[in-house]
Amino acid sequence: MAQSPGQYFVHVFTLFISSMAMTNMFRMFGNITPSLYIAQQVLTFILILMICYSGYLIPHPKMHPWLSWFYWINPFAYAFKGLFSNEMRNLRFDCSGTGSIPAGPGYDDPAYQTCTLPGSTPGADYVVGRSYLQRAYDINVDDQAIDVIAVFLFWILFTVINMAAMEWLDFTGGGYTHKVYKRGKAPKENTNESEKEAQLLVQQATDSMSKTLTLKGGCFMWKDVRYTVPVKGGDRLLLDDVEGWIKPGQMTALMGASGAGKTTLLDVLAKRKTMGTVSGTVTLNGKPLKIDFERITGYVEQ
């Protein structure tokens, strides 16, 4: 890479805005298409075009005229031109030896040789980077600032389209299908009376179930629960002599400030911790937990 600080920071800045522009382009297609599947299919095709017509795999002078227009609306192309111009504008490529033609015994006079690289001049045993880029890739290094600004403008353009799409496009209203019913078979619209009838039926069913429902289960208790984890320089105590119980048919709330150890306590009681040391007494109906406790217990992490 080029060694000057200016070229280094231009290189980093160009990479940054290129990354931001491409990120916003992906988000743009996610916002303007109705599903992730469609966005992936469209982006796959466009990304292949962007890579092939960035000016590196196929130099601009050799592009097929039917698709060469894509080169001018491709953020990759402007980023590639900006990076190449920044890197190679002051380089000199040595062509001495076999890099010049004609070469071989008797062809030692540089005045009658020329370099094999594009952009060479007769009688010179080197090629300047800007001449090489101009002849090989049709890149004018004097347009470097324009290329970098173009990438930045693509970033702004994709951001504006994203904002507009999120503001006005809505693909969740009902999809692209419309249900058609036979005459007289369409469901009735919900009214206040029908909603009240449905709520009454639900309430009656709930009351009936609550009268006949018998609660079964056990009392889950824990006492003097301590949990320590190894840290650099010793052990750290996360739970210190914690005790409590849960009764069947009763909802128990575990409350505390952030970082108090609520999730840690639940993980310890559910035997989900794989490191550290756990001590204390945990019982179910007054009996120690069996080895199948984890398999018969449902635990939902927060």
> pLDDT 10s digit of each residue in the chain, 302 long?
667 888 899 999 999 999 999 999 999 999 999 888 899 999 999 999 999 999 999 999 899 889 889 999 999 999 999 999 999 888 888 877 666 777 667 666 666 677 877 887 776 777 888 888 988 898 999 999 999 999 999 999 999 999 999 888 877 655 555 667 777 777 766 556 667 777 888 787 777 766 665 656 678 898 999 999 988 888 889 888 889 988 887 888 888 888 888 888 888 888 888 888 889 998 988 888 887 777 777 777 76
73 phi, psi to nearest 5 deg: -115, 20
Helices vs. strands in the chain: H and E counts, helices first: 8, 8
Give the per-residue pLDDT at 193: 67
Number of Cβ within 10 Å of residue 149's Cβ equals 14
Contacts of 49 (CB under 8 A, 6+ apart): 67, 70, 74
Q: Which amino acid is at 36?
A: L
Please give the Cα distance from 58 to 152 (Å, whole number): 24
| Nearest Cα to Cα of residue 148 among 11, 49, 3, 5 | 11
> For the chain, what's the residue count?
302
23's enclosing H/E stretch is helix 5-32
**Beta strand pairing status for 220-231 and 126-128?**
unpaired
The alpha carbon dihedral of 274, 279, 285, 291 has a sign of: positive
- Phi and psi dihedrals of 264, rounded to 5? -60, -45
Predicted TM-score (pTM) above 0.85: no
Tell me: cis bond preceding 61? Omega within 30 of 0 counts.
Answer: no
End-to-end CA distance of the chain: 49
Map tokens 């540089």 to a residue.
110
The alpha helices in 101-251, defined as continuous H runs, are: 129-137, 144-168, 192-212
Domain map (residue ranges) of the chain: 5-168, 220-296
